[in-house]
Amino acid sequence: MTAIKSSITVAGRKVAILRTGPASGEPVLLVHGGRAGVSPIAHGSHIWGPALPLLAAGRPVVAVDLPGAGGSDLGSPDLLMADQVCQHLLGVMDGLSIDKAHVIGHDLGGYLGLWLAISAPARLRSLSILASPMAPPKGDGLDDTTFLATPKPLWSRASQTWAFERVSYGQGHIDDVLIDACVEAAQGKPHLDAVAALQDEQLRFRDFGIPALKGRIWAATRGDGISIPTQLVWSSHDPQAARDAGYVLFQVLAQKQKATYFHLINRAGSFAFREQPKEFAQVVVSFLDSVDARLAA
């Protein structure tokens, strides 16, 4: 099963998508991570690699490029803010005639999924948050030094390979296919636009609108909570998405949502879906199957 690249236009902006899987079934929307223009890895739909066919075994899968990543126009610097990106994602779902999706978000994508689950719950069938350092409560956490000394030139092959090694348990998944795609994404106009936009210090300090939404997220989780089945998939060796933080987020969400699950995948860093794709699929696809089974029952 090959994944087909295509694009749609949403509010005048080009959105690149990667589709695979059968035509029928409950659709899965994959939302990649990374802070476009800042992250030393140029994320995009190309990141899902070996997880795509496993996730698509029984469901149509759509992986999007977020604005400023891969082949998706940035359009406006506002599209580098989480709440705006979430609005945009709903537009993408409209454009694809997807009413409800199983949303699976990695890293920043998991944070976006969390906000979508709160702000537009009717559009989600379930939520999977994968290794997201920004989704849990931060407390007075230490600064993240994982990418303190990223080699220059930024977004070169060497630099991105180094960055993947920093956040991976094993190096086997960091192959030419991955690095070629990441270098191509980095050199594309959307990413260059994001890099240029983030030269603005004010915009940079807003950190993709993550801190601004946090208070609203916690208020919502303490109020009605999340109304859809939610799972957190963390890894044994992720220097950024710490196990404890993920488990705290699980406890927060579990207060109000019965169907909340926490999982740990062994010998993986940030990219469990690449590093241990079968164990990743075992956890994630069985979750989707059980959500669909409950809905059918």
Partner 1 sequence: MASLNFTPVAGQKLPTPKHIDVKGINTRYYEAGEGEPIVFMYGGNFGSSDSASSAPVWSLNFLPLSAGFRVIAFDKLGQGFTDNPPRNEDYTMASVVRHGAAFIEALKLPPVHLVGHSRGGYGCTRIALDYPHLVKSLTIVSSGTLSPRVSPNEVVLSASPHPPYSRESARWIYEGYSYDPKVVTEEWMDNVMDVFAQPKYKVSVEKMVQEGAGARYFIPELAKEKRETLGWLREGRLQRPTQIVWGQNDPTVLVEGCFDIFDMIAAHNRRTTLNIFNHAGHFSYREHPERFNALLAHFVQNASA
User: Look-up: residue for tokens 């599209």?
Assistant: 79
Establish if 20 lies at the interface with partner 1 (CB under 8 A). no
Region 184-243 residues binding partner 1, contact defined as CB under 8 A: 236, 243
DSSP string for residues in 266-284 = SS-STTHHHHSHHHHHHHH
Instruction: Give me the least distance between CB of 261 and partner 1, in Å please.
Output: 6
With both helix axes pointing from N to C terminus, report the angle between 82-95 and 108-119 in degrees, rounded to the nearest 10: 70
Residue from 8, 38, 57, 154 touching partner 1 (CB under 8 A): that is: 57
Q: Rule CB under 8 A: say whether 257 interacts with partner 1.
A: yes
Instruction: Out of 9, 171, 227, 266, name the contact with partner 1 by CB under 8 A.
Output: 266
Interface with partner 1 (CB under 8 A), residue total 34
What residue type is 58 in one-letter code?
G
Tell me if 74 contacts partner 1 by CB under 8 A: no
d(CA 232, CA 45): 20
Which has the closest alpha carbon to 43: 17, 14, 69? 69
CB of 207 to partner 1, least distance (A): 30
**How do beta strands 13-20 and 4-10 pair?**
antiparallel
Question: Judged by CB, which is closer to partner 1: 147, or 262?
Answer: 262
- Cβ of residue 67: shortest distance to partner 1, in angstroms? 34
To partner 1, the closest distance from the beta carbon of 290 in angstroms equals 4
Which distant-in-sequence residues (6+ apart) come within 8 Å of 142 by Cβ?
none
- Which residue, 161 or 257, has its beta carbon nearer to partner 1? 257
Applying CB under 8 A, does 58 fall inside the site for partner 1? yes
Residue type for position 42:
A
How far apart (Å, rounded) are the C-alpha atoms in residues 127 and 29? 10
Tell whether residue 276 is a contact of partner 1 (CB under 8 A): yes
Among 133, 263, 269, 273, binds partner 1 (CB under 8 A): 263
- Cα separation, 206 vs 123, in Å, equals 27
- Residue 215 contacts by C-beta under 8 Å, 6 or more apart in sequence? none
Task: Determine, following the binding rule CB under 8 A, whether residue 262 of this chain makes contact with partner 1.
Answer: yes
Q: Under the criterion CB under 8 A, does residue 248 sit at the interface with partner 1?
A: no
| Secondary structure (DSSP) of 209-249 | GHHHHHHHHHHHHHTT---S-EEEEEETT-SSS-HHHHHHH
Q: Are 47 and 32 in contact (CB under 8 A)?
A: yes
| Binding range to partner 1, per CB under 8 A, among 39-47, 138-146, 151-159, 247-255 | 247-255
Minimum CB separation of residue 86 from partner 1 in Å reads 25
E strand segments, 118-258: 124-130, 230-235
**Of 221 and 260, which CB lies nearer to partner 1 in the complex structure?**
260
Tokens 């994508």 sit at which residue?
109
Question: Which 113-172 residues touch partner 1, going by CB under 8 A?
Answer: none
Does position 261 bind partner 1 by CB under 8 A? yes
Which window, 31-39, 41-49, 150-158, 280-288, contacts partner 1 (CB under 8 A)?
280-288
CA 65 to centroid of chain Cα atoms: 10
Q: Which is nearer to partner 1, 216 or 267 (CB)?
A: 267
Residue numbers at the binding site for partner 1 (CB under 8 A):
57-58, 236, 243, 247, 250-251, 254, 257-267, 276, 278-279, 281-283, 285-287, 289-290, 293-294, 296-297
